């Protein structure tokens, strides 16, 4: 038996003293009445000193000025006492011997309980397995979830569904593949930008297969002290094997699977090594599939990407027009709306699935704010830029600034119309160009977009012989396109990209747009006047203005 040493430290002594004081106070309150003689009783009764009395079996308890006395019942005239003094119900007082007994028993019980608690506490501390942090206790890997998401709940991923259908079938019917000698991939890596639905797709796989789903973020494995992250990886895979067939989903795996080398990080490397070991340790057809997601595949260690670990890779891109239509229909289902989904899909180029969800929700809020009974296209137009870029500050232009801005935007409007760069609306404070849907874009098409972004700056330079700060954003956009043309698409003067070619692209676009702007003063002036009056113009109105001028 384990030896236990009780120490009378300050804390223990204080507790014991407090208990003794409480017992002494109780003793004082419950002290035994003092026995008095008949002459003393008569003096108290005749002097009206008795406040009340309690008649016991063979005794009378007398209360006089906060004191308690007792006298034999047969030795007094009880009837006389009843006439002069209020008589209360029979009470039970505690004798000295009883108080002493209670004190001893209470003290012994307290001391035994105190020893037992201290002993049990030490015993539990020795039996308890070491834990590294609170999170590892609270968020243990012991409880997987069963996903209720199905492929039918995820819109716009028809190609991905085909890729993952085999994984689902393997999880449902592992014996079929095992008997045929087929080895399913141990891991599936989903690569795509944020918001395209990587986590939702993993949940749909688990939901379709009806298997336990273990979710972990890659960052949760990265701990402060060496060995903790590896321990968490080991626990996760151990639990998944117990619940097989099952799915482990590691979101943002680049946090734990970052390429080794460079700045040394022993804990990160130990965690990554444990992850590699666990994936190598999977038995063929063990029933556990690892699905990982990242939007930074270039940062993942090559050892994690080699065959035998993440054998299958699925690349997710931003939803195209067809996908956006399907996603919007899913999100608009059950909502009161009066809109053409195709129109919303056209105006939401560049939106991820998550952004489309936010777009629909913000449009509904906009309609509710205006006390509408249904959502219409104006609600989507009002919030589309807010969803993508955040709410912009409304600018307060002076009259002279409005004229400068109107000419600047009018030049962009006319250039976009002339060079066939699609736009929905252009206002004094913002542009709504239609995003590029085509997979292949020519050099002339990219140059046309650069010309549009440079046209406002060039027009003001021609008219005012000066440059203005309102061209900042457009100039940056033009530079970005030129950079991609040279460094990504090789559209420069040589196959080896260089910064001089970027400069040449921008100068060429500027020269061509200046030549165009010199002959369209009347058209730009008419469009600028319209912008000053109505602040917003669309493509149909541009055509109407130009038709009036050319008549």
**pLDDT for 461-508, tens place per residue?**
999 889 998 888 899 999 999 999 999 888 888 888 889 999 999 999
Q: Look at the chain and count its residues.
A: 551
- Are 343 and 463 in a shared domain? no
Residue 137 lies in a domain: no
pLDDT in tens, 169-189: 888 887 787 777 777 777 888
Cis amide leading into 378 (omega within 30):
no
- Are 361 and 290 in a shared domain? no
Contact between 55 and 87 (Cβ < 8 Å): yes
- Are 452 and 377 in a shared domain? no
Residue 481 lies in a domain: yes
- Are 161 and 309 in a shared domain? yes
Please provide the average confidence, as pLDDT, over all residues in the chain.
77
Question: Which pLDDT belongs to residue 267?
Answer: 66
pLDDT at 140 over 60: no
Instruction: Write out the DSSP string of 398-413.
Output: -HHHHHHHHHHHHHHH
Pairing of strands 288-294, 212-217: unpaired
- Are 353 and 435 in a shared domain? no
E strands in 200-342: 212-217, 246-251, 288-294, 312-315
Q: How confident is the model at residue 388 (pLDDT cuts 50, 70, 90)?
A: low
Select from 453, 460, 400, 387 the least CA-distant residue to 426.
Answer: 453
- Are 261 and 359 in a shared domain? no
Most distant CA pair in the chain: distance in Å? 138
Select from 188, 172, 276 the least CA-distant residue to 234.
Answer: 276
Q: How confident is the model at residue 75 (pLDDT cuts 50, 70, 90)?
A: confident
Q: How confident is the model at residue 129 (pLDDT cuts 50, 70, 90)?
A: very low
Q: Using CA atoms, how far apart are residues 206 and 366, in angstroms rounded to an integer?
A: 36
Question: Which pLDDT belongs to residue 509?
Answer: 93
pLDDT at 137 over 60: no
Question: Which pLDDT belongs to residue 172?
Answer: 80
When divided into structural domains, the chain yields a total of 3
Question: Which pLDDT belongs to residue 121?
Answer: 64
Q: How confident is the model at residue 134 (pLDDT cuts 50, 70, 90)?
A: very low
- Kindly give, in sequence order, each residue whose CB lies less than 8 Å from that of residue 449, ignoring residues fewer than 6 positions away: 421, 478, 481
- Count other Cβ atoms within 10 Å, centred on residue 194: 11
pLDDT in tens, 89-111: 655 555 555 566 666 666 667 76
- Are 198 and 326 in a shared domain? no
Q: For the whole prediction, is pTM greater than 0.75? A: no
pLDDT at 41 over 70: yes
- Are 420 and 311 in a shared domain? no
pLDDT in tens, 405-418: 899 999 999 999 99
Contact between 528 and 407 (Cβ < 8 Å): yes
Helix residue spans in 438-520 (DSSP H): 443-464, 472-487, 499-517
- Are 203 and 341 in a shared domain? no
Tokens standing for 258? 């970052």
User: Which of 336, 365, 388 is a domain's end point?
Assistant: 388
Burial 317-335 (b: 16+ CB within 10 A, else e): ebbeeebbbbbbebbbeee
Segment holding 287, helix H or strand E: none
Question: Which pLDDT belongs to residue 34?
Answer: 78
DSSP summary character for residue 221: G
Q: Using CA atoms, how far apart are residues 315 and 192, in angstroms rounded to an integer?
A: 6
User: Which of 333, 365, 388 is a domain's end point?
Assistant: 388
pLDDT in tens, 335-372: 888 888 888 887 776 778 888 888 888 888 888 888 88
Q: The CATH number of the domain where 343 resides is what? A: 1.10.8.60
Between 385 and 447, the more confident residue is 447
Between 172 and 17, the more confident residue is 172
User: Which of 257, 284, 315 is a domain's end point?
Assistant: 315
Reading across the β-sheet that carries 187-191, which strands appear in turn? Answer: 145-146, 212-217, 246-251, 288-294, 187-191, 312-315
pLDDT at 4 over 50: no
DSSP summary character for residue 259: P
Residue 80 lies in a domain: no
Q: Which domain holds residue 344?
A: 321-388
- Are 298 and 407 in a shared domain? no
- Count other Cβ atoms within 10 Å, centred on residue 271: 26
Percent of the chain with pLDDT over 90: 12
- Are 164 and 279 in a shared domain? yes
- Are 346 and 432 in a shared domain? no
Between 165 and 404, the more confident residue is 404
């Amino acid at each position: 038996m384990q030896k236990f040493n009780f120490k009378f430290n300050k804390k223990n002594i204080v507790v014991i003293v407090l208990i003794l004081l409480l017992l002494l106070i109780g003793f004082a309150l419950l002290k035994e009445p003092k026995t008095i003689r008949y002459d003393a009783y008569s003096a108290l009764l005749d002097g009206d000193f008795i406040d009340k009395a309690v008649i016991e079996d063979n005794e009378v308890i007398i209360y006089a000025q906060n004191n308690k006395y007792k006298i034999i019942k047969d030795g007094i005239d009880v009837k006389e006492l009843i006439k002069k003094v209020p008589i209360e119900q029979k009470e039970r007082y505690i004798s000295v011997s009883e108080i002493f007994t209670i004190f001893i028993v209470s003290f012994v019980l307290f001391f035994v309980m105190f020893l037992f608690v201290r002993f049990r506490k030490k015993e539990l501390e020795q039996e308890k397995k070491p834990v590294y942090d609170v999170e590892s206790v609270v968020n243990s890997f012991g409880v997987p979830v069963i996903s209720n998401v199905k492929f039918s709940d995820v819109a716009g991923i028809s190609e991905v569904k085909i890729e993952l259908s085999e994984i689902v079938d393997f999880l449902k019917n592992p014996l079929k593949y095992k008997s045929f000698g087929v080895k399913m991939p141990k891991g599936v890596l989903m690569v795509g930008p944020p918001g395209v639905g990587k986590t939702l797709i993993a949940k749909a796989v688990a939901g379709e297969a009806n298997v336990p789903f273990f979710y972990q973020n890659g960052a949760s494995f990265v701990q402060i002290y060496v060995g903790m992250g590896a321990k968490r990886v080991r626990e996760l895979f151990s639990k998944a094997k117990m619940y097989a067939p099952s799915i482990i989903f590691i979101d943002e795996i680049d946090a734990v699977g970052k390429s080794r080398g460079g700045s040394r990080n022993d804990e990160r490397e130990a965690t990554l090594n444990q992850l590699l070991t666990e994936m190598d340790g999977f038995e063929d057809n063990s029933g556990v599939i690892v699905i990982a997601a990242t939007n930074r595949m270039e940062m993942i260690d090559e050892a994690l990407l080699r065959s035998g670990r993440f054998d299958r890779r699925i690349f997710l891109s931003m939803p195209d027009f067809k996908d956006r239509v399907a996603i919007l229909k899913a999100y608009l289902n059950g909502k009161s709306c009066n809109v053409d989904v195709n129109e919303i899909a056209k105006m939401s180029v560049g939106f991820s699935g998550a952004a489309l969800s936010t777009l629909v929700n913000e449009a509904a809020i906009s309609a509710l704010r205006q006390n509408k009974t249904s959502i219409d296209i104006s609600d989507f137009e009002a919030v589309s830029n807010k969803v993508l870029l955040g709410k912009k500050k409304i600018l307060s232009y002076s009259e002279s600034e409005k004229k400068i801005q109107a000419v600047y935007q009018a030049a962009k409007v006319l250039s976009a119309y002339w060079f066939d760069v699609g736009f929905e609306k252009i206002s004094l404070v913002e542009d709504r160009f239609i995003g590029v849907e085509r997979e292949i874009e020519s050099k002339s098409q990219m140059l046309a977009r650069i010309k549009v972004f440079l046209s406002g700056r060039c027009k003001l330079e021609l008219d005012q012989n000066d440059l203005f700060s309102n061209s900042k954003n457009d100039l940056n956009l033009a530079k970005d396109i030129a950079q991609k043309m040279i460094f990504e698409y090789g559209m420069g003067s040589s196959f080896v990209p260089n910064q001089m070619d970027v400069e040449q692209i921008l100068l060429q676009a500027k020269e061509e747009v200046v030549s165009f702007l010199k002959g369209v003063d009347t058209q730009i002036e008419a469009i600028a006047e319209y912008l000053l009056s109505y602040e917003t113009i669309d493509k149909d109105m541009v055509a109407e203005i130009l038709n009036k001028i050319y008549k």
